A and B are shown apart, each in its own frame.
Chain A
Amino acid sequence: MTDQITDPSEIELYGALKDKEPPKEPRSQWKDVWDQFRKHKGAMIGGGFLLFITLAVLIGPLVWDVDPKKLDIRNKDMRPLYTLLWDGDARTSWAKPLGSDNLGRDILATLIAGGRASMAVGWTAMILALLIGTAVGVSAGYFKRLDGPLMRLTDLFLSLPILPLLLVAVTLFRQPLRANFGPETGMFILIVGVIGITSWMQTARIVRGEILALKEREFILAARSIGTKPFAIIRRHLLPNVVSPIMVSATLGLATAIITESALSFLGVGFPSDFPTWGKLLSDAVPRMEEFPERVMLPGILISLTVLSVNYLGDGLRDALDPRIRGR
């Protein structure tokens, strides 16, 4: 009888140990990340703008279905509509809201097409660099035998003069690739390839460092002790844990890829002249920038804003994915 609870006050006591309200819903890691990310205003705006630009260049041609390559010599050298604000006599037309260039091509349409090319190059080159970087980093970190040679290779790539080599590679391989794949696809493969091959080193270093630390943890030991194969360990246990540094370097990679592509186009070794990209549009407009400053400003502002938003996005992601900062 002694161990039975008879005293009502004692029941009350046990009741106090129970929570009156239901416990909080379980929260996943990604929800935490999202909550932290939302607090970073710059990152939210940056992410929103990047989404907007991506959608604009994807859906834009459906909404504004003017052929960017169509010549319209009669309506050449139109000014954008907003010049009417300070100059009532400017040649403008509602059919060409952002004006037309010296061959009468519609600037809004070329900007959308150029953005398509720039974003496509940026995303593909970034993904290529990430794939190479992650593969090198994981193999160097996990397999001890590969560590030395792979890291030597990474150091070698880091000590190559990148921009000169990019220029060399692009000028040298332009002809054969164009002959094999056509002028536009060939150039796309070439530019994506050279940017990807020359920008994977940072990712590889970061991933290797993370893998080296993770490899010594208990859960990897446990996985190994039940006989998991190395590749299964990498796929199931290691890769999910290095997603966050990879995402951060992805944003940096996207920014550098967009800038590098524009720089190559600006120096005249990028895409052929009838295939617009933002850098190409900018460099084509430079000789007449005194009369038509908007043709320089619009693509330049688009490049800068896109890269700025990507950088802010990366900043926010870095904060959100770092568990030490999260929750503060």
Chain B
Amino acid sequence: MLTYTIRRLVLSIPTLLFISVVIFLLLQLAPGDPMAQVPLTVPPEVKQKMREALGLGAPIHIQYWKWLVQFFWIEPQVFLDWATRESLLLGWLPDTAFAEGKLRVISWQTRSPVMDIVMQRMPQTLWVVGMSYIVGILIALPIGIYSAYKQYSLFDQAGTFVSMIGFSVPPFFSGVLVIVIFSVNLGWFPSIYDTTHVVTDWASFKVQLQQMIMPVMVLALQTTAQISRFMRASMLDNLNQDYVRTARAKGLKESAVVLVHVLRNSMIPIITVIALGIPSIFGGAIITETLFKVNGIGQLLLTALFANDLPMVMTLTFIFAILIVLFNLIADVLYGILDPRIRYD
């Protein structure tokens, strides 16, 4: 298992490098000019100088190499500096100051380091999208279990229909729908997510809850649809196995049979499915965040794209790619650990 994990980790390095080359080359083809917003009165020579100051004059391979160094070498140093300076865990260590005076990946929009902005945006995304993922799983598991246990019952049919709807109704429609119903007509929840809101007491907590309900529910509908289908299929596979009959024959209670024996075995594939979905939490839900005006990662990517902010787009897309590769690996390893029938070596 360990050798397998190490082999996969080593293999993922060329994969990620290749992905970064692909994204970089794609962005190099961009026709947009970061100087497009500069006033026309600025003479062209000055504009050219400004372009070179952004590092645009250098050949492609040097630009790529510089980005690579900044991302893989300088940013970790910045992180180490931060860890030894401010964090609780390592704050007692002396300040390292590795990255003092070194050039980080700079956003063309704000002229500030990309990673700082990502760190500012991350909490909002994690709160909204992460919470929706958890809520979705918590709703999906019981639905999946019960509809498999009572296959073809009314509950099962209804569950199938609801998850079909979850698959079919795109978030930009369901989001607009709940805004029209709950925010415009009923006036229960605000349609705009206020990220500056700070929870201090019960009343402000209630406000936070109210503004979170709609985006969380819109996203949770999709998670629920997917995971409840997987859960149902996996439970159905296990319910007809011989060990279930044995468990019943030896007089176990029905609840123990279903909720202990069958459930534990059916959770194996579900856990990998859940792990595979985690990267999309960090990736943010671009559409839902735009709709409810949550200034998270997805919205950051969208604005960076429209503003031709190539370093930001490059870094964000690459972070998503790292997360996808990493969680693919985690899912495979988890599957091997949980299911003793699987042998990778």
Give A223 to B211 CA distance when docked, in angstroms.
65
**Among the listed A169, A282, A283, which residue makes an inter-chain contact with B26, where contact means beta carbons less than 8 Å apart?**
A169
Give A308 to B179 CA distance when docked, in angstroms.
22
B172 touches A289 (CB 8 A): no
The A/B interface has a contact count, at CB < 8 Å, of 114
Give A155 to B306 CA distance when docked, in angstroms.
29
**Among the listed B31, B170, B279, B287, which residue makes an inter-chain contact with A307, where contact means beta carbons less than 8 Å apart?**
B170
Asked if B302 CB lies within 8 Å of chain A CBs, one says: yes
Give A172 to B305 CA distance when docked, in angstroms.
9
Query: Contacts A159-B19, A300-B173, A307-B168 hold; do A167 and B27 have CB atoms under 8 A apart?
Result: no
Query: Contacts A161-B317, A168-B305 hold; do A259 and B31 have CB atoms under 8 A apart?
Result: no
Interface residue stretch chosen among A59-67, A119-127, A260-268: A260-268
Asked if A93 CB lies within 8 Å of chain B CBs, one says: no
Interface size grouping (class) on chain A? 35 or more
Within 8 A of A (CB), among B14-34: 15, 18-19, 22-23, 26-27, 29-32
> Within 8 Å CB of A176, what residues of B?
31
Query: Contacts A171-B306, A173-B29 hold; do A311 and B176 have CB atoms under 8 A apart?
Result: no
> Within 8 Å CB of B305, what residues of A?
167-168, 171
A263 touches B180 (CB 8 A): no
B170 touches A303 (CB 8 A): yes
A290 touches B19 (CB 8 A): no
A262 touches B170 (CB 8 A): yes
Interface size on B, residues (CB 8 A): 41
Give A311 to B229 CA distance when docked, in angstroms.
13
A263 touches B287 (CB 8 A): yes
B320 touches A161 (CB 8 A): yes
Asked if B328 CB lies within 8 Å of chain A CBs, one says: yes
Within 8 A of B (CB), among A237-290: 255, 259, 262-263, 266-267, 279, 282-283, 286, 289-290
A175 touches B31 (CB 8 A): yes
Give A176 to B30 CA distance when docked, in angstroms.
10
Asked if B77 CB lies within 8 Å of chain A CBs, one says: no
> Within 8 Å CB of B15, what residues of A?
155-156, 159
Asked if A304 CB lies within 8 Å of chain B CBs, one says: yes
Query: Contacts A167-B301, A175-B31, A308-B168 hold; do A161 and B180 have CB atoms under 8 A apart?
Result: no
1/0 per residue, CB under 8 A from B, across A151-179: the answer is 00001101111011101110111011000
| Distance from A186 Cβ to chain B, minimum over Cβ atoms (Å) | 13
**Among the listed A267, A289, A315, which residue makes an inter-chain contact with B287, where contact means beta carbons less than 8 Å apart?**
A267
> Within 8 Å CB of A286, what residues of B?
176
Query: Contacts A304-B169, A308-B165 hold; do A156 and B19 have CB atoms under 8 A apart?
Result: yes
Asked if A296 CB lies within 8 Å of chain B CBs, one says: yes
Asked if B184 CB lies within 8 Å of chain A CBs, one says: yes
Asked if A312 CB lies within 8 Å of chain B CBs, one says: yes
> Within 8 Å CB of A163, what residues of B?
283, 286
> Within 8 Å CB of B317, what residues of A?
161, 164-165, 168
A266 touches B172 (CB 8 A): yes
> Within 8 Å CB of A255, what residues of B?
167-168
| Distance from A102 Cβ to chain B, minimum over Cβ atoms (Å) | 17
A304 touches B170 (CB 8 A): yes
| Distance from B223 Cβ to chain A, minimum over Cβ atoms (Å) | 16
> Within 8 Å CB of A307, what residues of B?
167-170
> Within 8 Å CB of B19, what residues of A?
156, 159-160
Asked if B290 CB lies within 8 Å of chain A CBs, one says: yes
Give A159 to B19 CA distance when docked, in angstroms.
9
A289 touches B184 (CB 8 A): yes
Asked if B244 CB lies within 8 Å of chain A CBs, one says: no
**Among the listed A156, A173, A283, which residue makes an inter-chain contact with B18, where contact means beta carbons less than 8 Å apart?**
A156
A160 touches B164 (CB 8 A): no
> Within 8 Å CB of A267, what residues of B?
286-287, 290, 302
Asked if A293 CB lies within 8 Å of chain B CBs, one says: yes
Give A286 to B325 CA distance when docked, in angstroms.
36
Query: Contacts A167-B286, A300-B177 hold; do A159 and B170 have CB atoms under 8 A apart?
Result: no
Query: Contacts A161-B320, A161-B321, A168-B305 hold; do A282 and B283 have CB atoms under 8 A apart?
Result: no
A303 touches B27 (CB 8 A): no
27 CB-based A-B contacts, threshold 8 Å: A159-B15, A159-B321, A159-B324, A159-B328, A163-B283, A164-B301, A164-B320, A165-B26, A165-B317, A167-B286, A168-B23, A168-B305, A171-B306, A172-B27, A172-B30, A172-B31, A255-B168, A262-B172, A263-B172, A266-B287, A267-B287, A289-B176, A289-B180, A296-B173, A300-B173, A305-B168, A311-B167
Query: Which 8 pairs across A and B sit closest by C-beta, in order of nearness?
Result: A161-B320, A300-B173, A308-B168, A307-B168, A266-B172, A304-B169, A172-B30, A159-B324
Q: A167-B301, A168-B317 are in contact. List 18 more A-B contacts (CB 8 A).
A: A156-B19, A159-B15, A160-B321, A161-B279, A164-B317, A167-B305, A168-B26, A168-B27, A172-B29, A172-B30, A172-B32, A259-B170, A263-B170, A279-B172, A283-B172, A289-B180, A304-B173, A308-B169
